[in-house]
Amino acid sequence: MATFSSGGGEKNEATERHAHVVGWGMAVPESALTNEELSTFVETSDEWIFARTGIRQRYIADEGESTATLAYKAAQQALEIADILPTDLDLIVVATSTPENIFPSTASLVQDWLNAHDAGAFDLSAACSGFVYALNMAADSIRAGSIQSALVIGAETMSRILDWQDRSTCILFGDGAGAVVLQASEVPGGVLSSVLRSDGAGSDLLGIPSVGSIDADDSRASSNGAKLYKMYMAGSEVFRFATRVISESIEQTCTAAGIQVNDIDLVIPHQANLRILQAAARKLGLDADKFMSNVERYGNTSAASIPIALCEAIEQKRVQDKDHIALVGFGGGLAWAAMLIRWGVPEPSEQQGSMFNRQRRHVQYRIAKWRSRSRRWRRRVNRKVREIRV
Ligand code: ACO
């Protein structure tokens, strides 16, 4: 088992750099698919799905929507709330299991569309824990002093890797994206501690075989019987794993931050199944209403579920200044991750005029489109000129 953790939230706060969440945004596709609609083409029922999972509906991307378009929309909202320009970003990370391409990264597409021309960009693969992993990487880079601000996105189009004949998985998942802007600040708080864990011995319980698979030349199935590019899951074993690691990792991240589990004001868990969250709350001795849940409306959106739930918790005023917020993700890998944040958005600096910046951001998005097109066009012209010369 590989382990990694970082923490020590309260030490030398006055002299340390802190990584604060200063912006947030989310996007889901236009079309919702209800349990009733699902049961017209899969042998299942609204009663079964709701009783076993707490899910009533999920959003499904249509032809014009993709992981990158959803990520882009969520990112624009997050930049709006942070009131910073895309050109101020140093890093863009997209956590996803359903990237646009193996490469280029979805993050690079978002970087281009935003005109974030000074930002590095990459995708991170840690399934449903991906957003917490990505947030930890960005926060550590900020605290180490190597970057000032980062855009961290969880984005998925799970509908495209589901086997719609397999009722044990296709009922669970949905599409969407959530994003946060993290920024360096001297104000104590922000990300206090993180715990990242992995147990690859459980790789046969949950996964999506892809191009690098040992069976990649067999278009029908991989060595454990799973179809290429389609999700497989051993549901009940994943269920048991999830309830165990949620409580364990939250306790560990509290210890690393120097607080008690009872000091947590709100847990924002990966939204896989309401029963998993209720069991984890019981294990931790926390009231179930301290666990944010919106799985009923979105299903499991994998790496997007935590930032989407965070956005809704903020909108519902369940997140207040100085609150201790625990994030926890778990899933394919097996991998899991927990993080403790002391909420406290630093006041924006006086020079930032929201209206003015909004217009500047919109100009930058338009410039981004033209910049991309003109670069491609220039490359094509140069290629033609070279061909003519030869
Ligand atoms: N509708 C109706 N019946 C169904 C359905 C369905 N959609 N799916 C399964 N059943 C049936 C089964 O065939 C079985 O019937 P049987 O007893 O006659 O054989 C019965 O219901 C019970 O099946 P179980 O699989 O034991 O049901 P369970 O209570 O375990 O619920 C579920 C299944 C919802 C998938 C649950 O195991 C679960 O939520 N697991 C965790 C999923 C998860 O958390 N994933 C997280 C990470 S995802 C990621 O990282 C990408």
pLDDT, residue 349, reads 52
* Pocket lining: 272 vs ligand 1, CB cutoff 6 Å: yes
SS (H, E, C) 101-156: CCCCCHHHHHHHHHCCCCCEEEEECCHHHHHHHHHHHHHHHHHHCCCCEEEEEEEE
Mutate to test the pocket of ligand 1, among 230, 239, 301 (most ligand atoms within 8 A of CB): 239
Identity at 307, one-letter amino acid code: P
> What is the model's pLDDT at position 146?
96
Q: What's residue 2's pLDDT?
A: 43
Domains of the chain: 13-342 (3.40.47.10)
Mutate which of 33, 37, 52 for ligand 1? The one with the most ligand atoms within 8 Å of its CB, which is 52
pLDDT number for residue 268: 98
Task: Divide the 390 residues of the chain into consecutive groups of 10 and give the mean pLDDT of each group.
Answer: 46 72 97 98 97 98 97 97 96 97 97 97 98 98 97 98 94 98 96 98 92 67 74 93 96 98 98 97 96 98 98 97 97 97 74 78 92 91 91
Helix segments in 323-353, DSSP class H? none
